[in-house]
Amino acid sequence: MLIHATRARESTTTAMLRMSGIAAICALANACAVGGNMGGPDDGCPRGGCAADANDVRDVAMDVGCDGPTCGAMDVRGVDAIPTDGTAPDVSCATGSSLCAGRCADLQRDATNCGMCGITCAMGEACTAGVCARTCLMGQTACGAACVDLLRHPMHCGRCFNPCMSGQVCIDGRCTFDCPAGQTACAMGCVNTNIDVNNCGRCGNICLAVANGTPICGSGVCGFTCMSGFADCNRTPSDGCEASLSTMTNCGSCGRACGPFANATATCVLGGTCLMMCLAGYGDCNRVQADGCETQVVRSPNCGSCGVSCTGTANPNCCPGLVGVTYSCSTRFIMCNP
């Protein structure tokens, strides 16, 4: 049995004196056992009192004065590891270590005592956090019996036993689709981010719907096209295609006015067509809408309508066919202003 700590702190001189006294008594009894380190602290112990150990001078203050069968075999640190009196070993392990078969072991890292005393890891395995696991190369992780790269392995993507779905690959620890050239793997599959309205320019960038228009993606940039009869006349994308192209100020296109016209009434019909109706006695004989109904159709050569001449009569200025009149040049005449 170990002597008390106060004995361990005795000076070397005192310890040697104590040893000399015991040696003298033992010599008289002729019952001394010689220690394994001749001249060491156990030389001269009483018979059956101190067993030989393999230690050196470090045990001088430890075994001197060991008495009777209470002393056990010494370990290399000068500590009685295996008492003969049935008491618990005297070894005191540091925090985080446990006593296993007479020595202190770190159950979290000791491959011969992994998790608990006596659990030995197989060849090629290491004890990590108290669990035997395969020793893997740098950049790999032990998942079951295999060492894998969690950044690329399709069955262990990002973490052990996290398989990717069919058609997916593991890239940078994330399951994604294996896409052909020119396409990008996004949440719903492989897409062309140059034209995909739900992944425009990048995955997840959705082109928003606008008033009277349809969203589009061109060269990775969101835009929109207007429905027939509408346009973005104010050049403000946020309000979409705000202008109807069936109004008098935007007839058929932005800023195109429908009228007013000389001697006529104007109407912009659905679809953006500007119609002009000449007043009675006038016609658009030059087919230029901008100057309206520029011609009076009351005399030859526009007698009643553009291009109608009264020829072969006594009075070439007499015109039939005025509004409300159904005369014919060959029969009846009316006087027109010369």
- 87, part of any domain: no
pLDDT tier, 312 (very low <50, low <70, confident <90, very high otherwise): low
CB atoms inside a 10 Å sphere around CB 246:
18
Q: The pTM is what?
A: 0.43
- 259, part of any domain: yes
- 253, part of any domain: yes
Residues 49 and 115 grouped into a single domain: no
Q: Would you state the pLDDT for residue 156? A: 94
The rounded percent of the chain whose pLDDT value lies above 90 is 41
Q: Would you state the pLDDT for residue 136? A: 83
Q: Would you state the pLDDT for residue 189? A: 81
Residues 53 and 121 grouped into a single domain: no
3-state secondary structure of 137: coil
**CA atoms 150, 151, 156, 157: torsion sign:** positive
Q: Would you state the pLDDT for residue 317? A: 55
The rounded percent of the chain whose pLDDT value lies above 70 is 65
Residues 40 and 109 grouped into a single domain: no
Phi, psi of 148 (to 5 degrees): -130, 160
- 213, part of any domain: no
- Among 109-113, 193-197, 242-246, 299-303, which is the least confidently predicted range? 299-303
Measured in Å, how far apart are the chain's first and last C-alpha atoms? 153
* DSSP of 61-87: HHHTT--GGG--EE-TTS-EEE-SSSP
Q: Would you state the pLDDT for residue 217? A: 97
Q: Give me the chain's average pLDDT, please.
A: 74
Angle at 42 between CA 72 and CA 7, to 5 degrees: 80
pLDDT tens for each residue of 174-214: 888 888 889 988 877 889 999 999 999 999 999 999 999 99
pLDDT tens for each residue of 142-166: 887 788 999 989 999 999 999 998 8
Give, for 5, the enclosing helix (H) or strand (E): helix 5-8
pLDDT tier, 91 (very low <50, low <70, confident <90, very high otherwise): low
Ramachandran quadrant class, 266 (left: phi over 0; alpha: psi -120 to 50; beta: rest): beta
More reliable by pLDDT, 302 or 13: 302
- Domain range for 10 is 5-82
Residues 66 and 125 grouped into a single domain: no
Question: Largest Cα–Cα distance of the chain, in whole Å?
Answer: 182
Query: Residue 19: is it exposed, middle or buried by C-beta count within 10 angstroms (0-12/13-18/19+)?
Result: buried
pLDDT tier, 168 (very low <50, low <70, confident <90, very high otherwise): confident
- 196, part of any domain: no
User: Is the bond preceding 260 in cis, omega lying within 30 degrees of 0?
Assistant: yes
